Amino acid sequence: MTKLFICIALLLLAAPAHAMHISEGILPLPWAMLWYALALPFVALGIRRLNSLAREDLSFKPLVGLLAAVVFIISCMPVPVPTAGTCSHPCGTGMAAVLLGPYVSSLIAAVALLLQALFLSHGGLSTWGANIFSMGVVGSMAGYFTFKGLRLVGFPLGLAAFCAGLLADWGTYLATSLELTSGIRGSEPFLPLLGKILLAFVPTQLPLGILEGAMTAGMVMLLYRKRPDILVKMRVIAAGETPGNG
């Protein structure tokens, strides 16, 4: 009888959980395996790129470690989404992609997501591939190519970095919405369900994207003022663009 009362009390007192990333068990196995197949080649390219850069410069790995910690911490900041029963969060992959390139950024995201799944119950092992693809691959590619494209047409460094962080964040959530829609729609039409999922994230993800853009621009401009040699080394700027030469 005592056990029964304890169980009833726990059920009555339980608070709703807010999951981050795509949670364990959400995606059917075929979809989960598809996202693994799409994501892991980018992780492998990230490992190869990391080893190549580390051979060229031994100081590269500490920089990667620092940014990996930044991505891990940033992507652990949950913002509840009341309309979706889940959480939004900034990602940090736009910043990592601008400074390290999209492949190393994908690898960093994969490590951060694995640690969060194992020790913080954020995401899951079955959905690790899907979370890597949305946050690591799509987020990194969106941030990197936005930054490079805008710099190519003459955008200022800070503004290009802001747009990179912004679109990396929004790209991540577009990809996550597509993954969720594909996996859970059943017989429901694709586009209406996708619209519902996207709208559920709008109240939090629009301002979070702006915040992430500001964080990315802030980091890039801080390095530009204090350690432009790092930006030159990582080919973010050319040697002639350093403050002393401007």
Q: Which run of H or of E encompasses 245?
A: none
At 121-164, the pLDDT tens digits run 788 899 999 999 999 999 999 999 999 999 999 999 999 999 99
User: Which of 22-26, 43-47, 122-126, 179-183 shows the lowest mean pLDDT across its residues?
Assistant: 22-26
Q: Is residue 246 assigned to a domain? A: no
Residue 44 lies in a domain: yes
User: Considering only 2-6, 73-77, 94-98, 230-234, which range has the smallest mean pLDDT?
Assistant: 2-6
Q: Look at residue 10 in the predicted model and tell me its pLDDT.
A: 31
Q: What is the mean pLDDT of residues 188-212?
A: 87
Tokens 């694995």 belong to residue: 114
Ranges of H-type helices in 85-138: 93-100, 102-119, 128-131
Report the C-alpha gap between 54 and 195 in whole angstroms.
Answer: 43
Given this model, what pLDDT does residue 223 score?
Answer: 93
Supply the range of the domain harboring residue 156.
21-238
Residue 181: which CATH number?
A: 1.10.1760.20
| 97 close to 143: Cβ distance less than 8 angstroms | yes
- Give the CB-side neighbour count of residue 22, counting CA atoms within 13 A: 32
Band of residue 81 on the pLDDT scale cut at 50, 70, 90: low
In a domain, 155, yes or no: yes
Q: Is residue 1 part of a domain?
A: no
Task: Tell me whether residue 91 is in a domain.
Answer: yes
Tally of domains in the chain? 1
For residue 86, list its beta bridge partners: 19, 81
Torsion angle defined by CA atoms of residues 124, 144, 104 and 106, in that order, rounded to the nearest 10 degrees = 10
Q: d(Cα 231, Cα 246) in Å, to the nearest integer?
A: 15
Q: Report yes or no on 244 lying in a domain.
A: no
Q: Which two tokens stand for residue 133?
A: 């693809």
Q: 10 lies in a domain?
A: no
- The pLDDT of residue 143: 97
- Residue 13 belongs to a domain: no
Q: Which residue has the tokens 């395996």?
A: 33
> Mean pLDDT, the chain, as a whole number?
85
